[in-house]
Amino acid sequence: MYDHCIIGGGIVGLAVAMALQERVPGAKVIVLEKEEELARHQTGHNSGVIHAGIYYAPGTLKAKLCREGAEATKQFCRENRIPFETCGKLLVATSKAEMRRMEALEDRAQCNGIDFTRLTIGQLRADEPNIAGMGALLVHSTGIVDYALVCRAMAKRIVDRGGEIIRGKEVLAILEHEKGVRVQTSAVVVEARRLVACAGLQSDRIALMAGMKIDHRIVPFRGEYYSLPASKAKVTQRLIYPIPDPDLPFLGIHLTRTIDGGMTVGPNAVLGFSREGYAKGSFSPRDVYSMATFSGFWKMARKNWRSAVLEFANSASRTRYLTECQKYCPSLTISDLQNPQAGIRAQAVMADGTLVHDFLFKQTDRMLHVCNAPSPAATSAIPIGRMIVDRLLDRDDGTSDAIPAQAEA
Ligand SMILES: Cc1cc2nc3c(=O)[nH]c(=O)nc-3n(C[C@H](O)[C@H](O)[C@H](O)COP(=O)(O)OP(=O)(O)OC[C@H]3O[C@@H](n4cnc5c(N)ncnc54)[C@H](O)[C@@H]3O)c2cc1C
Residue stretches of the chain with pLDDT short of 70: 247-249, 395-409
CA dihedral 276, 224, 345, 357 (to 10 degrees): -160
Centre of ligand 1 to C-alpha 375, Å, is 9
Q: For residues 155 and 161, give the distance between their C-alpha atoms in angstroms, rounded to a whole number.
A: 10
pLDDT at 91: 97
Centre of ligand 1 to C-alpha 46, Å, is 8
What one-character-per-residue DSSP string does 100-148 give?
HHHHHHHHHHHHTT--EEEE-HHHHHHH-TT---SEEEEETT-EEE-HH
**Are 112 and 223 within one domain?**
no
Of the three residues 140, 174, 205, the one that is the final residue of a domain is 140
**Are 101 and 175 within one domain?**
no
- pTM summary value: 0.95
Tens digits of residue pLDDT in 147-178: 999 999 999 999 999 999 999 999 999 999 99
Centre of ligand 1 to C-alpha 128, Å, is 32
Q: For residues 144 and 213, give the distance between their C-alpha atoms in angstroms, rounded to a whole number.
A: 38
Q: What is the DSSP letter of 322?
A: H
Using most ligand atoms within 8 A of CB, pick from 5, 36, 43 the residue to mutate for ligand 1: 43
**Are 336 and 268 within one domain?**
yes
Centre of ligand 1 to C-alpha 185, Å, is 20
**Are 173 and 128 within one domain?**
no
**Are 158 and 33 within one domain?**
yes
Q: For residues 75 and 316, give the distance between their C-alpha atoms in angstroms, rounded to a whole number.
A: 41
pLDDT at 18: 98
Is 262 inside any structural domain? yes
Tens digits of residue pLDDT in 63-115: 889 999 999 999 999 999 999 999 999 999 999 999 999 999 999 999 999 99
Give burial (CB, 10 Å; 0-12/13-18/19+) of 26.
Answer: exposed
Q: What angle do CA 12, 45, 92 make, to 5 degrees?
A: 100
Is 403 inside any structural domain? no
**Are 155 and 267 within one domain?**
no
**Are 174 and 313 within one domain?**
no
Centre of ligand 1 to C-alpha 103, Å, is 32
Nearest to 280 by CA among 323, 235, 305, 316: 316
In a 3-state reduction of DSSP, which class is residue 333? coil
Is 73 inside any structural domain? no
**Are 345 and 226 within one domain?**
yes
**Are 180 and 157 within one domain?**
yes
**Are 375 and 346 within one domain?**
no
Q: For residues 138 and 91, give the distance between their C-alpha atoms in angstroms, rounded to a whole number.
A: 7
Is 370 inside any structural domain? yes
* Count of residues in the chain: 409
**Are 231 and 307 within one domain?**
yes
Strand partners, 93: 135
What one-character-per-residue DSSP string does 170-183 give?
-EEEEEE-SS-EEE
Is 398 inside any structural domain? no
Residue closest via CA to ligand 1's atom 35 equals 8
Is 52 inside any structural domain? no
Q: For residues 46 and 44, give the distance between their C-alpha atoms in angstroms, rounded to a whole number.
A: 6
Give the structural domain span for 324: 217-235+246-350
Residue closest via CA to ligand 1's atom 9 equals 49
Q: What angle do CA 4, 373, 264 make, to 5 degrees?
A: 125
pLDDT at 404: 44
Residue 334: give its domain's CATH number.
Answer: 3.30.9
Is 330 inside any structural domain? yes
Q: Which atom of ligand 1 is nearest to the CA of 11?
A: 25
Residue 199: give its domain's CATH number.
Answer: 3.50.50.60
pLDDT at 397: 52
Q: What is the DSSP letter of 42?
A: G
Is 84 inside any structural domain? no
First to last CA, the chain: 34
Using alpha carbons, list the distances in angstroms from residue 165 to 64, 206, 280: 30, 19, 32
Binding pocket residue ranges, ligand 1, CB within 6 Å? 7-13, 32-35, 40-43, 45-49, 51, 170-171, 198-202, 206, 223, 267, 343-345, 373-379
Q: How many domains does the structure of the chain reveal?
A: 3
Half-sphere exposure (Cβ direction) of 66: Cα atoms closer than 13 Å:
31
**Are 16 and 153 within one domain?**
yes
Q: For residues 71 and 145, give the distance between their C-alpha atoms in angstroms, rounded to a whole number.
A: 13
Q: Which atom of ligand 1 is nearest to the CA of 40?
A: 49
Q: What is the DSSP letter of 335?
A: G
